[in-house]
Amino acid sequence: MKKPLMLLLLLFMSVMPKTLEASEQRDSLSIKTGQMLMIGFRGFTVAEAPGIADDIGKRHIGGVVLFDYDVPLHSPSRNINSPEQLSRLTLELQKLTEIPLLIAIDQEGGRVTRLKQARGFPPSVSAAHLGELDNADSTRAAALQTARTLKAMHIGMNFAPVADVNVNPQNPVIGKLGRSFSSDPAVVARNTGITTDTFHDEGIIATLKHFPGHGSSTTDTHLDFTDITGTWSEKELEPYRNLIGRGYHDAVMTAHVFNARLDPQYPATLSKFVLEGLLRKKLGFEGVIVSDDMQMKAIADRYGLEEAIRLAVEAGVDILLFGNNTSYDPDIASKAVAILRSLVEKKIVSEKRIDLSYRRIMALKERYLFRCK
């Protein structure tokens, strides 16, 4: 074990009595499985969201994800109202645990922006606009503004940049929303590289998405099964190959897309061929794999919760994301923790497998969050 990670685990052991009851101190499994979960919630303050406080304090979840709009309620009232309010909320959340939370957000710029100008945040531009310019200074300036805005809000993880290649400009969830830098993989790689480097310099965790590529799809995984077998090509891997090849090891988010040429049975999020075989072994990625939202219909409509969690973990997912913003389940964290525990107790998933994800997550937190705690 590397010395810094050993020090981190020793630090974790030293704070356990402050945060865990005696019975839980002896139960590292509850901590490890909790750290594998990232949960969305409703509320502008912790007082308005007692469920998430329990998820953090009692179920030891490793992260939360923030939204500005509540999709199930069709309401702009969710987690973000103003810079002052958001800063208070994130600080309140971090105070609930001695293990720093991954507080994440989708702040891509352009159409996918949770921190909107109308609520007092700086304006942002889309990846498509930056890709058209393909100017290092412009991309760096946009990334720097995003990173410093997130840092001021105590948000440590951005679900960006988008590494999808704009194969299909009419793609309803990527191309038509201006989320891809370009149809040229080299332009995508260049601009994602500048963005991740800038995030790193400012202490923000980057997340490349959506692996192995969502740019050629014709449908939206939020809404339905998405088959890219006939449209996907190897060039969509180039941005990942480029960045991983030069040392990128923060996080990669999976896509729920199905590609029979990569796996004849499962979509990427649930595919050992795609995640362990392609991303880990072939491309050499050693960082944290985050699922796209497990409540999106491409997964939720075709798999039961227990089956989806089992398949995702077996495939190699480290953090299971439940955004609670496609559908809303206030008990999703307790359900997921119970399922993970049951899978281990029944020896369907080994504790060694859980430990592997836990170590990756804690190593990521050590690099970015413990230094700020």
pLDDT tens across 230-262, in order? 999 999 999 999 999 999 999 999 999 999 999
**Is 60 annotated in the active site?**
no
Residue 227 has pLDDT above 70, yes or no: yes
Q: How far is CA 284 from the centre of its chain?
A: 19
**Is 292 annotated in the active site?**
yes
Residue 31 has pLDDT above 90, yes or no: yes
Q: For residue range 248-307, list pLDDT tens digits in order.
A: 999 999 999 999 999 999 999 999 999 999 999 999 999 999 999 999 988 999 999 999
Residue 355 has pLDDT above 80, yes or no: yes
Selecting among 250, 263, 292, 293, the annotated active-site residue is 292
* Mean of pLDDT values over 6-17: 46
Residue 23 has pLDDT above 90, yes or no: no
List the chain domain ranges: 27-372
Selecting among 60, 154, 214, 222, the annotated active-site residue is 222
For position 373, what pLDDT does the model report? 45
Residue 27 pLDDT class (50, 70, 90 cuts): low
Burial bucket for residue 369 (CB in 10 Å: 0-12, 13-18, 19+): buried
Residue 345 has pLDDT above 60, yes or no: yes
For position 14, what pLDDT does the model report? 44
pLDDT above 90 covers what percent of the chain? 88
For position 371, what pLDDT does the model report? 54
Q: Which CATH superfamily is domain 27-372 in?
A: Glycoside hydrolase, family 3, N-terminal domain (3.20.20.300)
Residue 18 has pLDDT above 50, yes or no: no
Supply the mean pLDDT for the chain: 92
